[in-house]
Amino acid sequence: MGKSVWKPGTVIYPVPAVMVSCGDIEGEKNIITVAWTGTINTNPPMTYVSIRPERHSYEIIKKTGEFVINLVTENLAYACDFCGVRSGKDVDKFSEMKLTPFKGNVVSAPLIYESPVNIECKVKEIVKLGSHDMFIGEVVSVSVSDEYMDETGKFHFNKSKPICYSHGGYFGLGKQLGTFGYSVKKQKDENKPKKERWRKTGRKTKNKKEGK
C-alpha cells in the first residue's frame, strides 16, 4: 500500500451539512447550505460559517449581522441539497421545500421549524480569507425539538438521524462506535487485578445463577 500526493486542498471529511437561514422572518429571508462550519470556542459559545462573497446570502448576513445554523437530518437531506444548488435570487426556498420559518428567541432571522436544533448567532467578526469569508458568530440562543427529549430532560439528537457531507455525498452516521472517553475507561478496566475484575463481572453472573 502506497501514498499518492495531491496538491494542497481542504480534504477534511466528513463535515457537517447544515442549512443556514438569514434575513428577516417578516421580510426577505433565505436559506443557504453550508459545509464549512463548526465550533471554535466554548465560553462564550462561538461558531462560524464560511461563505463565498458572490452567494446571495452573503450580503444578507453581512447587512443584518445575524444567522441561524439549522442542523440537518435524513428527512431534510433533499431540502439541504436544494438550498445549496439553487439561488435565493430566483426562488423562495422556504416555499419550494415546504419548510416553516419560525420566529427566533433573539435574532430576527427565521429558524427552520423542521430542524431538530436551531442555533441563533450574532456576527462578531468577518474574516476575509480568499475564496470564502468567515463569519464568526456568538451563539445567543439554541432551540431544540421536544420530540427528542426524554422524561429526564436529556436531548437525544442522534434519534433524529443526523447526516454529514463527505467528498460530494450525503451520508447517515451509521452505528455508534463508542462514547467520549471510552478508550480510557476500557484501559482502566483492563489494568485492574484479575480478582477485582472478577468481582465486577463474575460475581454478578454467579448471583444471577443462584437467583439472588
Both 110 and 90 in one domain: the answer is yes
Residue pLDDT, tens place only, 49-77? 999 999 999 999 999 999 999 999 999 99
Q: 158: helix, coil or strand? A: helix
Both 129 and 186 in one domain: the answer is no
Q: Which residue range is the domain that position 212 belongs to?
A: 178-212
Both 158 and 188 in one domain: the answer is no
CB 76 within 8 A of CB 114: yes
CA distance 166 to 170: 6
pLDDT band at 122 (very low <50, low <70, confident <90, very high): very high
Residue partners of 173: CB distance under 8 A and separation at least 6: 158, 161, 162, 163, 164
Residue pLDDT, tens place only, 69-118? 999 999 999 999 999 999 999 999 999 999 999 999 999 999 999 999 99
CB 52 within 8 A of CB 34: no
pLDDT at 179 over 70: yes
- CA-based radius of gyration for the chain: 22
CA 205 centroid distance within chain = 41
Size (the chain), residues: 212
Whether 8 maps to a domain, the answer reads no
Both 184 and 117 in one domain: the answer is no
Dihedrals φ, ψ of 162, to 5°?
-65, 160
pTM of the model: 0.85
Whether 145 maps to a domain, the answer reads yes
